[in-house]
Amino acid sequence: MQQPSAGAHPRPRIETLADLIFGLSLSIGSIALIANPPKSNAEITTHILAFAYTFFVLITAWMIYTTYMSVLPVETRTVTFLNVGLLLLVAIVPYLLNGVEVVAPGLTSDQVSMIQNYSSTLFALDLGGILVILATFAHVISLEEKKLVAPELVTLFRNGRNRMAILAVLTLISVAPEFWEWTLLGVPIRLYLWYPPLISYWLGRAVRPDSRTYKLA
The answer to whether the beta carbons of residues 78 and 84 sit under 8 Å apart is: no
* Residues ≥6 apart with Cβ < 8 Å to 93: 25, 29, 54, 57, 58, 123, 126, 127
pTM attached to this predicted model: 0.88
For residue 47, pLDDT over 80 is answered with yes
pLDDT at 151: 82
Residue from 166, 160, 142, 140 nearest 213 by CA:
160
Tens digits of per-residue pLDDT, 4-36? Answer: 444 445 556 777 888 889 988 888 877 877 777
pLDDT at 5: 46
Tens digits of per-residue pLDDT, 113-129? Answer: 899 999 999 999 999 99
CA 30 to chain centre: 17
- The region of weakest confidence among 49-58, 147-156, 185-194 is 147-156
For residue 1, pLDDT over 60 is answered with no
Higher pLDDT, 121 or 212: 121
Sign of the Cα torsion 46, 47, 48, 53 reads positive
